[in-house]
Structures are given as structure tokens and as C-alpha cells.
Structure 1
């Protein structure tokens, strides 16, 4: 048996492959965006976690301050107030954060789609 020679793709074949790849990526991002939107409370809890005084980085610096005898490395609760300046600001904020979370969650699949042969 002769080894099969890879066929050369025409410009339109390459364009068709690019279209398929972009559609696969868009579908993955949209599905993960909708999933992130369903868990928006948990997502915002994760994003706004640094406002709490028991955040892991704050605990690390407090422990480091106790070990090195440096006063003032302890953190307090940081007050964060989210305000809307537009009529649909809250909804658009939820949608944009969900979109970015979808891209972040789909990034391994995006890289696979872009770089597989």
C-alpha cells in the first residue's frame, strides 16, 4: 500500500475550514457564557472576593506580618458599592461578565481549535 499523500486545499477549502473553526469556537463560547450566566451569583462572589477581609492574599500578608513582626499588613473589609449609571447597566454587566467568563472557560478549546492540524 502506498502512503496517502495529503491533498492540497484550495483557497475556498481553507476558507471553509476557517468558517467551521469560527463557528465551533462561537458555539462553545455561547454555551459556556449561558452556563456562566446561570451561575452569576457565584461568579460575582468570586470576582468580588477581594472585598472581604478573609481573602486568601490578605490572610497571607497578615501571617507574613506576624512572622516578620511588621505591623499594618492586616487587611480590613473593603467597602465596595456597585452603582448603575445606565438604565440597563446591571443586566449588561451580568452579560459582559458572563461573556468574558465564557471566553476564559472556553480558552483551552479555542486554542485546540486554532492550532490543531
Structure 2
């Protein structure tokens, strides 16, 4: 049966399209999750538990930066004073399953984006439909950049902070494996999605829900939120907070610029 045009599709037709989008995306993620199962040893030992090693690349880079700026060894990491343990009978099995699913989602994100594009493309102009590859590539690059930022910046800094924070010498840090991995997964996925902000702003501006003036008006509030987040996830030193804050501010500024371009193009089209 031929695919209906946008004007011919009812509300139920749209729901059916959305349902199949979710089905295809879920199947793709599960297939990739099954693939990652065969390299789960590498994923856990090298990637996930990598930031628990004081010789992790981020810690060495921060230490070198600290020394070059004349702060001596103030932000050098020499040890991780905590242990990771499993306290549930089925804990490690659950962690393995959900970690593979998370890895499948991250690897399958470009495919999910392609499915989303096919779902929204009927509402776009013909000239905009030609930008499908650009949309998928740009969005994927932003997502993977955010994931890397979360893994190499947010995770190590958060881990260093929580590992060294203590309310009393009586308390020993012994983190559960699901708590630790939950922190890693939340950090990388949240950063990946945050880096999608310019794409989100692009579509919100086209729908008339956001304007450059709105984003600029609330810029100071965005700065405050970003600074609060940076203060929470980083150790109490200026260098670490700046490293986290600057990329997030650049993403917000890029979103404002994109919104301006969209509004400018819409004015040209409308005469």
C-alpha cells in the first residue's frame, strides 16, 4: 500500500507511524546490545572502570595543567579511596544487561535519529527534506561529542569529588556497582543529549516556540544553572569548574546563533 501524504494522514495514522518508529529503533538497539555483549569484558574493564584508575588520561591531563598553571599538585589524583562492591544476588547480571542496552542505545543513536527524521520530514519543506544526511551526521556528531565530554570530563571529576568527599573519618566509601555504573551512564547520556540542544532549538524555532530574544533574555539564568551544575560535578577548584562550564556555555551560545539564522531565513521566505 502506498504511503499516505501528510495531509491524508489521520491522528491514528500518525500514531501508527510513531509506533513503528519505536519498534524499529528498539529492535536496532537490542541487536547492538547483543553485539556489545561479546565485548562486555572490554567495556567494563577498560571503559567503565577506566576512571577508577589514578592514571586515567583525564587525571594526568589535569595534573599537568595544574602544574603548568603554577598550582603545584593541587588537583592531581594519586589514589581512589573507595571500593566498588556488589550487594545483590542478581546485581551483576542486571548491570551487564542494562549496560549492554545502554551501549546499544549509544551506538544506535544515528539510526534512531534517521527514524525520527523520517517521522518529521513530511511536515518539512522540500528543500529541507534534502538535508536528511546533514541532520543525521550533525546530530550524531553532537551526541557523540557530548558522550565523550561526559566520559572524559564529567565522570572523572564527579568520581574524584565523591570519592574524596566524607562527612567523617568513621565513614568508608564503598559504592555499589549499580550506583557507580548508574552515575557513569547518566553522565554520558545526559551530556550527549545536552549537546543536542542546538538541533532541538532549531526545530523549536521553526515551530515558533522559541525565539533568539527569548534565549538571550534567559541567558543569565542559563549561566547560573550551568555554574551550579559545574560546581556540583567538579572538585572545589576553579580550573575544573572552568573546564566544565566553557563547553556548556558555548553550546548555549551556538543554540542562540542557530535560532537567529532560522528566524532570518524564515523572514526571507515570507518576504
TM-score of the superposed pair, with normalisation by structure 1 = 0.81
Aligned counterparts, 1:1-117, within 5 A:
6=5, 8-44=8-44, 45-72=46-73, 73-78=75-80, 81-116=83-118, 117=121
Q: Which runs of 5+ in 1 are unaligned?
A: 1-5
For structure 2, list consecutive stretches of 5 or more residues without a partner in the other structure: 122-271
1:3 aligned residue: none
- Alpha-carbon distance in structure 2 between the residues aligned to 1:79 and 1:38: 31
Find the aligned partners of 2:82 and 2:25 in 1 and give their Cα distance. Answer: 35
Contact 1:51–1:80 (Cα < 8 Å) also in 2 = no
Aligned residues: 113
Provide the rounded CA distance (Å) in 1 between the counterparts of 2:59 and 2:98. 28
Contact 1:53 1:76 in 2 (8 A): yes
The TM-score with structure 2 as length reference comes to 0.38
Assess if the C-alpha contact under 8 Å between 1:32 and 1:102 holds in 2: yes
Report the RMSD for the aligned CA atoms in angstroms: 2.1
Q: Which has the higher helix share?
A: 2
Measure, in 2, the Cα distance between the counterparts of 1:21 and 1:33: 18
**Max radius of gyration: which structure?**
1
Q: Where in structure 1 do 4 or more consecutive aligned residues deviate above 4 Å?
A: none
